[in-house]
Structure 1
Amino acid sequence: MRVAFVCVQNAGRSQMATAFAERERRERGVEEQIEVVTGGTQPADHVHEEVVGVMEEVGFDLADRTPREVTFEELQSVDYVVTMGCSAESVCPASWSGENRDWDLDDPDGRDPQEVREIRDTIEARVSALFDELLAETATATTTDERTD
């Protein structure tokens, strides 16, 4: 299963979501089951400083991450495309092969640390809930497959 976290700049919300998703994969032991993709339609030069700061507070080092462009081809092969509230402008949702969800989050760029922490904590909770859902879905599919064998 492939999940993409997409934003315009790939410098804030989608970077936080990706970091939390990578942790969820590792802690739940599903690195082989769930692939995480991230990118932006117009990537920035670097991850926003305020994002780097609040993520360091919870044990993540995003200072060396570089925003990247997400391609149409990548999005063709994902099961879930999660946009962060920025409507991933130049990529048409109708062309995404998977389900699209928009989390409608405020942009942390230029916000004070407390506001960025609130955005971070919301993203962390949503990523955890998404993994609960994905793993429940995978378990249901596996049980159904076993019954038909």
Structure 2
Amino acid sequence: MPSIYSTLLPTQQWEVHRLYEPSEFFEDDELLSFVKVAITKEPSLPNRVGKHWKRISQLYTWASAVADGPEDWRGIHNALVTARVMGQISLDRVPTPTPKKGYVVRVAPVMNPHVDYDKLAWAFMEQARLMREGKGRPEEPESSS
């Protein structure tokens, strides 16, 4: 299930990581040190990240009101997807025909500074399998040079 975090643009997600590093667990004093260093490097970062958290908070409040409450994660997810919030950026910029009536694939990235090497290896292996089967790559147009 996609995270509400994915409603932020990737650049906005990286800003949150630079200020708080949400993918890590810090003790209070460690987090405070991390934030102080980040603010020293980028003084306007807390202001930008505050705006991102405000947007996420507003979306969460709206979606939990539409769902069965703040703990109904599936309902919140469904509300966001139904409202086309998840993946909205891609869909607004690139109109794509749907392969079947009522079926749309949305990709909503969630940035994480820590690479999941198992998932990456699986993706490469899957791509290799598809290429062996002749399905891995669309036909490239001939160059006119």
TM band (smaller chain): under 0.3
Write 1 or 2 for the structure with the bigger share of helix: 2
- Max radius of gyration: which structure? 2
Return the TM-score normalized by structure 1.
0.27
